[in-house]
Amino acid sequence: MTALPVLILGARSDMGLAIAHAFAAAGHPIQLAARGSAGLETARTDLALRHGVEVTLHDFDVLDRDGFDGFLGGLPNLPEVAVSVVGYMGEQAENEQDLAQAALVMRTNYEGPAGILALLANRFEARGSGTLVGVSSVAGDRGRATNYVYGSAKAGFIAFLSGLRNRLAKKGVHVVTVLPGFVNTAMTEGLDLPEKLTAEPSEVGAAVLKAVQKGRNVIYVRRIWWLVMAIIRNIPEAVFKKLKL
């Protein structure tokens, strides 16, 4: 029986490609989905040659809600695993002043990913199998002054994934929530990030693959982030609002 592929939504990102490599190395065919997917031809060739699996390219725009059904209908087959790694942080100062920019951040990090996973969930439920993976962020664990627009969208996505996991628990479909923490990607280029808290994209790829194989529910890519966020979540509000976080 031919193995069903793994769909990567947001395949142009460093984390998306790293996740694709992790699953391809484990023998899974890969579907790479992103805007302007033809630009991923080099990545497609590299994945196929390096791991000996079939890799296909598909145009996908997370902001084009009306195009979701057509996108899924155009896939050569329904994937066994679908991973949403779509994300856009923007600049907090701009997000505070420009409602259109804030809406773009919210739609990119919550509305779009939740919408496409909702459609995939219905298809997986009808089939009775599959795994959905949502890559969110520790920023969704508590709103902070420095990134609360982005964090609020990620928080919404975390709640959506939690509810979806509960709904599908007895339907043969599993849902994994991934909280990466800092990751050394193009999005964080130039930022002074602490080494112990900063993962490489390959770590994210390996963590997502392991979470799917082990049936994990919620994972922090570097375990230390669980402790960090547990502390941050439990700081009293009266103290928290005095901190520069």
Supply the residues annotated as catalytic: 150
Alpha helices in 35-175, H assignment, sequence order: 41-51, 68-73, 92-97, 99-106, 112-127, 148-168
Between the CA of residue 173 and those of 10, 82, 242, what are the distances in Å?
22, 11, 43
Question: CA 133 from chain center: how many Å?
Answer: 7
Q: Which H or E run includes 133?
A: strand 130-135
Residue pair 10/84 in contact by the 8 Å Cβ criterion:
yes
Q: Which residues contact 59 (CB under 8 A, 6 or more apart)?
A: 33, 34, 35, 36, 37, 71
Please state, in angstroms and rounded to a whole number, the distance separating the CA atoms of residues 149 and 56.
34
What's the rounded Cα separation, in Å, for the pair 23 and 6?
7
Which residues 6+ apart lie within 8 Å of 223 measured at CB?
none
Do 145 and 186 contact (CB within 8 A), yes or no?
no
Helices 99-106 and 148-168: angle between axes, nearest 10 degrees: 30
Q: Residue 175 in 3-state DSSP?
A: strand
Cβ–Cβ < 8 Å for 144, 245: yes
